[in-house]
Structure formats: C-alpha cells, structure tokens
C-alpha cells in the first residue's frame, strides 16, 4: 500500500509543479495523510521484526517480499524460498 500511495503522491506533486494545482481537493490531502500513515506502519512493522529476529534474517526477507510482489503473482512464495 505504501508504494501505491507514494506513486500517487509523486504524481500529484508533478502535476502541481507542471501548473495544475492538485492540492485544492480534500482527496489529495487524504492521500498524503494515508501515505504518512502507511509509511509509519511500515517502519513500525520493520522495527517489531528486528526486535523479534536477527537482522540477517529480517532484512533480506522484507526486501525479497516487497520486491518479488512487484514482479509476479507468486512473490510471497518466492520470498519464502529465498530463506
């Protein structure tokens, strides 16, 4: 979700820089608020994982889950096989 909100936020920013102000609508501010919330939740999740497990296990797993989900439908399975 964080990636989707980040891409949408960047698109709003690029349109605003291009001359079409997108931040006069309440939906744009809701999207920016959602981006902040999802980013903080992602950091909290990573923090909890690092407390419960060794960083040599958590960091590659988190990276493989997030990257493989972007490339194929069976990314979670590929991430588990990465271990």
Q: What residue segments make up the domains of the chain, in order of their start?
A: 1-52, 53-83
Please tell me the predicted confidence (pLDDT) of residue 56: 73
Tell me the DSSP string of 17-40: HTT---TTSHHHHHHHHHHHHHHH
User: Nearest-CA neighbor of 23 among 34, 12, 33?
Assistant: 12
What's the average pLDDT block by block, 10 residues per block, for the chain (83 residues)? Answer: 78 88 88 88 84 74 56 53 48
Assessment of whether the complete model's pTM goes beyond 0.75: no
Please tell me the predicted confidence (pLDDT) of residue 47: 85
Please tell me the predicted confidence (pLDDT) of residue 9: 83
């Amino acid at each position: 979700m964080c990636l989707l909100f980040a891409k949408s936020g960047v698109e709003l920013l690029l349109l605003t820089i291009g001359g079409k102000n997108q931040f006069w609508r309440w939906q744009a501010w809701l999207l920016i608020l959602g981006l902040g919330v999802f980013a903080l939740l992602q950091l909290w999740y990573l923090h909890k994982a690092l407390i419960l497990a060794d960083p040599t296990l958590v960091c590659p797993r988190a990276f493989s889950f997030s990257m493989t989900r972007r490339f194929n439908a069976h990314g979670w399975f590929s991430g588990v096989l990465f271990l």
